[in-house]
């Protein structure tokens, strides 16, 4: 027949404008059944596309093409992360998406996002000054602008760790999109990033930790017991500040760790601990029991003095009016106490590592240390244990030297 444009078995390929077109009936993720079209300048090109479309349809890998990256990530935060994740996780993901992902990738179609697109984005993210990109200096009052807004770029680039964390957010979202069959591959999975080098964190020796605690107790520091919990039992800052009164059993000499205190996006949360592995009941050594008894007595005195202004929150550590201790105020008190004690400045997080390091120096079995520190994975405990303290390293080298000294 004159004008026939279809070979046998190619019933859906036909002439179209200056080339050819073809379609396949497909079932979309939402349950809708519709035609999907492909186009090309020659029949061979269209035939190849048509075969690929057939294969994708058989494997349920055809998308509707309506999702942009911005639309999907917005829905992902609202429908997947918000109902299931911790407040801090939601806040972190939201910040990554709003500040770093959407400005460059938001307008792209989700099903057409490629590894090259994401690689280019990641390279730009690492190279750009974030003060310039986000207009941080420009947002300051005119008389307080000091860098990017006045032509002196501060070179405020993201660290390799931060770039990796942002990429991880995108990769997690695309992994869920893959599970929903909105994309056929995770475009962020194969992206190459600069290696992240973990900084060597300072930790105290047992003598420095002792001087710090002695200074706090001598000055009747209201947070002395919290410092003891961090250094002796390895509690996280939020776990110490979120400790309920009824979690301490002085008769059995046990402390029940179940909650933490966090401030996220201006709101204070008293919620479950970081992971299920963080929940545990630990025995209290004498220094911990004594410190908490002193704290309970101080709390009772504060309540009497506050009288009708007292606001009961049920926590062991409170302000003079019974309200929870702000995590940032704890950091300020910690730094002040460090200066008064005359010991090297470390954060409360590094103090938790000090606890782990001291346990290692005392030859405490790693499995016991894992229980005390409540790590979810044994490899985390061993990472700290293999990072020996300076004192242990010095002693080992001296022992080796003595053995080789003729």
> Residues 357-364: what's their mean pLDDT?
70
H or E element at residue 290 = helix 286-306
Query: What is the separation, in whole angstroms, between the first and last Cα of the chain?
Result: 103
pLDDT number for residue 363: 66
Domain boundaries, the chain: 13-58, 69-179, 206-397
pLDDT number for residue 10: 45
pLDDT number for residue 334: 95
How far is 226 from 330, CA to CA, in rounded Å? 9
Average per-residue pLDDT in the chain?
84
Judged on CB neighbours under 10 Å (0-12, 13-18, 19+), 294 is middle
How far is 148 from 133, CA to CA, in rounded Å? 10
pLDDT number for residue 4: 43
> Residues 357-375: what's their mean pLDDT?
69
Topology, domain 206-397: hpI Integrase; Chain A (1.10.443)
**Structure tokens that stand for 92 in this block:** 């972190």
Q: Tell me the per-residue pLDDT of 11-31, one tens digit each, with 9 for 90 and over.
A: 478 888 888 888 888 776 556
How far is 164 from 162, CA to CA, in rounded Å? 5
Q: Tell me the per-residue pLDDT of 119-168, one tens digit each, with 9 for 90 and over.
A: 999 999 999 999 998 889 888 998 889 999 888 999 999 999 999 999 99
Judged on CB neighbours under 10 Å (0-12, 13-18, 19+), 59 is exposed
Strands (E), 330-370: none
pLDDT number for residue 182: 83
How far is 247 from 258, CA to CA, in rounded Å? 8
pLDDT band (50, 70, 90) for residue 5: very low
Which stretches within 63-220 are classed as H helix? Answer: 69-76, 82-84, 87-96, 102-105, 115-127, 130-134, 160-179, 206-218
Cβ–Cβ < 8 Å for 27, 73: no
- Is the pLDDT at 202 greater than 60? The verdict is yes
Residue bearing the bigger pLDDT, 272 or 379: 272
How far is 240 from 315, CA to CA, in rounded Å? 10
- Is the pLDDT at 318 greater than 50? The verdict is yes
Q: Tell me the per-residue pLDDT of 70-128, one tens digit each, with 9 for 90 and over.
A: 999 999 999 999 998 889 999 999 999 999 999 999 999 998 899 999 999 999 999 99
pLDDT number for residue 1: 39
> Residues 48-59: what's their mean pLDDT?
79
- Is the pLDDT at 231 greater than 90? The verdict is no
pLDDT number for residue 190: 92
**Beta partners for 22?**
13, 38
């Amino acid at each position: 027949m004159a004008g026939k444009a279809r070979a046998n078995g190619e019933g859906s390929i036909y002439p179209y404008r200056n080339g050819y077109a073809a379609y396949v009936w497909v079932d979309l993720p939402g349950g809708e059944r519709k035609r999907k079209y492909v186009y090309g300048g020659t029949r061979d090109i269209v035939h190849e596309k048509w075969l690929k479309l057939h294969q994708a349809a058989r494997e349920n890998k055809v998308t509707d093409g309506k999702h942009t990256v911005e639309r999907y990530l917005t829905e992902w935060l609202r429908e997947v992360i918000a109902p299931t994740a911790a407040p801090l996780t939601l806040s972190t993901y939201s910040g990554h998406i709003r500040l770093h992902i959407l400005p460059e990738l938001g307008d792209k179609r989700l099903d057409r996002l490629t590894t090259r697109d994401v690689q280019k984005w990641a390279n730009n993210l690492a190279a750009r000054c974030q003060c310039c990109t986000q207009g941080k200096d420009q947002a300051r009052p005119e008389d307080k602008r000091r860098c990017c807004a006045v032509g002196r770029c501060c070179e405020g680039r993201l660290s390799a760790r931060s770039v990796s964390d942002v990429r991880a957010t995108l990769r997690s979202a695309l992994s869920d999109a893959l599970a929903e069959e909105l994309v056929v591959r995770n475009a962020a999975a194969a992206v190459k990033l600069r290696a992240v080098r973990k900084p060597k964190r300072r930790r105290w020796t047992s003598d420095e930790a002792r001087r710090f605690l002695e200074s706090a107790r001598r000055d009747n520091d209201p947070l002395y017991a919290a410092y003891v919990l961090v250094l002796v039992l390895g509690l996280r800052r939020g776990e110490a500040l979120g400790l309920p009164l009824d979690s301490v059993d002085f008769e059995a000499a046990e402390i029940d760790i179940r909650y933490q205190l966090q401030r996220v996006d201006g709101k204070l949360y008293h919620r479950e601990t970081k992971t299920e592995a963080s929940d545990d009941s630990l025995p209290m050594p004498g220094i911990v029991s004594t410190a908490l008894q002193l704290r309970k007595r101080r709390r009772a005195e504060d309540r009497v003095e506050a009288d009708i202004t007292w606001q009961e929150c049920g926590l062991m550590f409170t302000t003079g009016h019974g309200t929870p201790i702000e995590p940032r105020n704890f950091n300020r008190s910690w730094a002040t106490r460090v200066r008064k004690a005359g010991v090297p400045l470390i954060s409360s997080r590094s103090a938790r590592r000090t606890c782990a390091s001291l346990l290692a120096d005392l030859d405490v079995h790693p499995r016991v240390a894992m229980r005390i520190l409540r790590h979810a994975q044994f490899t985390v405990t061993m990472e700290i244990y293999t990072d020996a303290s300076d004192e242990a390293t010095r002693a080992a080298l001296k022992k080796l030297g003595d053995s080789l000294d003729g």
